[in-house]
A and B are shown apart, each in its own frame.
Chain A
Amino acid sequence: MTRSHGGRSVPVRSALARSLDRALAMVAVLAGILGAVYLALIPVEDPARPLIAASAVMFWVYVGIGVVAWQRRPSNPLGMLIVLAGVMIHLGTVGNTGVPFLVAVGAVCATLILPAMLHLLLAFPTGYLITWPARAVVIAGYTLSTALQAPQYLFDADGPAPDLVIVDAPDLAAAALSVQVAAGAVVMGATVVILVGRLRRADAAHRRVLVPLFSYGIFAAVATPLSGRLVWAPLGVDPLIGIAAQYLVITGVPVAFALGMLRGGFARTGQLEELGTWLGTAAASRELLSAALARALGDPSLELYFWAAARGCFVDADGHPAPAPAAHRGWAQIVLDGRVIGAIEYDRALLVDEELVRTAGNVVAIAVDRERLTAELRANRRALLRSRERLVEAADRERRRIARDLHDGLQAQLVMLAVDAQRLASADPDAVHARATRLRHDIDTAAADLRRLVHDLVPAALIERGLFAAAEELADRMPIPTRLVGAVGVLGDAIADTAYFVIAEGLTNVVKHSQAGSAVVRLEVHGDELVLDLRDDGIGGAQVERGTGLRGLADRVDAAGGTFALTSTPTEGTRLCVTLPCGS
């Protein structure tokens, strides 16, 4: 996980992860000290000193690799199991120091490394013993190497720990050893059966990792107790060399497990886990999300795209449409609740397993969806701002029109009426009657103009009788046959005003552009929605993008929280369908 700071990459880890780091560092330091103490305690005169020293190295290798694996995959206990196996080895070899107490400890723990290895084998790759046979086998293994180990140091005075002997009964010790070996063989056989079963169920990709790992693990577990007795002694090889070879085999075990866990086909669990950790810890931003995916999947060229439903295409973080992927690029869609919400474009040469990419995408799906929604929200906000600007512009335009109408029309009329009235005062008395009547007619005309102007702003019918009466009046005054159908009751002023505006503008458009022979206006309330359907049988071709009329309608409907749909074809005329929320 990296976050870019001024071009530099610095690791991002949670407080919990940092705490784990510190604890693991202490484990490593402690192991170093224990190993050093052990080395210091080895008698200088011991001829096998280099070999005994090698067992400390073995301990360090186990703890070191275990700590690394633990740190890289904190929720997978395999790392911890490797560390524990190292501790078992150390306990089994501390007897080499010759210190009586440590000799006793060494005798008690001599064979614990064997069940620890079985445990590792059976817990791979999750770190857990999931099935009951696996658990039974591991418990049996630990029991054998503790309970059946006891007779060796309790009853054999010539055995590894003379201090612990309570009764000298070598026969009993030998019998117990036979039982331990026989039972150990059974446990080992059971382990092999379980592992073979797992291999058969695994797919090809997993088998590539499991077969060598299991083979090596079983080989190590079998070779450790038997090699000294069955291989090296009959061959007459120096027992020290035999032990050295055995150490080498045992040291290889953690390396194999760590490789299998961190690399190989089982990396998936870890990668997904890492993404999960990232989701929980990092304050996600778009850049970070794609970076986390790229890092977790190991493909720096990986690109993350979001599904933009409104535009019907995938877009990048900046809202640019995704280019068509090149031939060598893979494409995995991210699905959340059955909806496609994004896609990952990746390099097929680096990431062979498409399923892994898809799964990783689904792990971060919610984060991707959040990013997508954020991007959508930004786009909506921009659209909203533009719509608001247009509404303000429309209002300004309308105000200017009213001012112009009042100034050019009514004001001019009033001036001329005042002039006429003044001339009447000095007119020939015989002509006064006719001129006064004409003046009255002119005033009527001015009054009628004013009435029309006011009516155009807010129609009397809308105020007095509501939307349906006002719509009826609009239909009545259409120059083509226009039917009004449906029924609506009392509506809120804002909704009625908006609906009236839509009908008035819609019918104006029909008259101006459609060349229609007739029109139908349908007004209905469905649930808590006012549905307004306006159709004509004209030439079609109406577009929201063209001109300000329909755009203004769409904006007003949008501002009222409604929906706006326009279909306009030469064969079927134009249909404008608007819904407005009219619930309380």
Chain B
Amino acid sequence: MRDTALRIVIAEDETLIRRGLQLLLEEAGHDVVAAVGDAGRLREAVAAHAPDLVVTDIRMPPTHTDEGLLAALAIRAAHPATGVVVLSQHVQRSYARELLSSGAGGVGYLLKQRISDIETFLHDLAAVATGATVLDPEVVAVMVDRASRAASAVGCLTPRQREVLALVAEGCSNASIAAKLFLTEKAVVQHMSRIYDALGLPADADVHRRVQAVIHYLDDA
């Protein structure tokens, strides 16, 4: 992975996790330019280093509420070249909505425990650094479940179509959806067009834009 080495800033107030994360990223060949423990110093570090990627916890000192998320949104607005991955003990719909609201991509929202699946985690980081959008399967599951219970077209989808829809919302490409569901890419495309018809969404090949559209649809349901 030397060729895609990223310059990364870590913000996490738990020393143990901060060190572990740093170790993990450095072992993967990335360059951790700063590892800080609160949102204020995160912003300073980003301003100082202009990193490719920020990995930040949501809850940090001094208020231990949502300063990590607010810092992430501010960084996305001020530094469009810097991707942001927000980690949280617990995912919820409103955070996904806010992170996607900029519409510019380059954001990730993952459960903190996803770190342990190192390979997937590193892959997601790399994707966000290149402008993709990655959402945790759990938050997507909450949104799809909710939308299918509500009186929306999601409830009319087949279970397989819902699986495909969830993977789209998580930010997967057609190829990776095909791999995960053991389908051909052609079958995935067929599923996609039926889903788009059912939901009345415009077909879009761009992975990032279709995440935006699907999440927006699910959130409004």
Contact = CB atoms under 8 A, between A and B. Distances in A.
Contacts of A448: 113
B92 A476 contact: yes
A463 B92 CA distance: 13
A481 B116 contact: no
A444 interface: yes
Contacts of A481: 149-151
Contact of A460 (B59, B116, B150, B151): B59
B88 A444 contact: no
Interface string A365-379: 000000000000000
Interface residues of A, number: 23
A491 interface: no
A464 B116 contact: no
Contacts of B89: 451, 454-455, 460
B149 A480 contact: yes
Given A464-B65, A476-B142, A440 B116 contact: yes
B113 A463 contact: no
Contacts of A455: 89-90
B31 interface: no
A463 B149 contact: no
Interface string B62-74: 0011100100000
A473 interface: yes
Most chain B beta carbons < 10 A, residue from A454, A464, A472: A464
B3 interface: no
A478 B151 CA distance: 14
A501 B58 CA distance: 24
Interface in B11-28: none
Contacts of B149: 478-481
Given A463-B65, A465-B65, A481-B149, A476 B113 contact: no
A476 B140 CA distance: 12
Contacts of B150: 481
Interface in A468-498: 469, 472-473, 476-481
B93 A472 contact: yes
A317 interface: no
Interface in B64-117: 64-66, 69, 88-90, 92-94, 113, 116-117
A487 to B, nearest CB: 13
Contacts of B64: 463
A457 to B, nearest CB: 12
A289 B146 CA distance: 66
A168 to B, nearest CB: 116
Contacts of B66: 464-465
Given A460-B59, A464-B59, A465-B65, A447 B113 contact: yes
A472 B139 CA distance: 13
Interface in A405-464: 440, 443-444, 447-448, 451, 454-455, 459-461, 463-464
B142 to A, nearest CB: 5
Interface string B120-152: 000000000000000000000011001001110
Given A451-B89, A481-B150, 12 more contacts: A440-B116, A443-B116, A444-B113, A451-B113, A463-B64, A464-B59, A464-B65, A464-B66, A464-B69, A465-B65, A469-B92, A469-B94
13 contacts: A440-B116, A440-B117, A451-B113, A455-B90, A460-B88, A460-B90, A461-B94, A464-B58, A464-B65, A472-B93, A476-B92, A478-B149, A480-B149
Interface of A: 440, 443-444, 447-448, 451, 454-455, 459-461, 463-465, 469, 472-473, 476-481
By Cβ-Cβ distance, the 9 closest A-B pairs, closest first, are: A460-B90, A464-B66, A464-B65, A473-B92, A481-B149, A447-B113, A476-B146, A481-B150, A469-B94
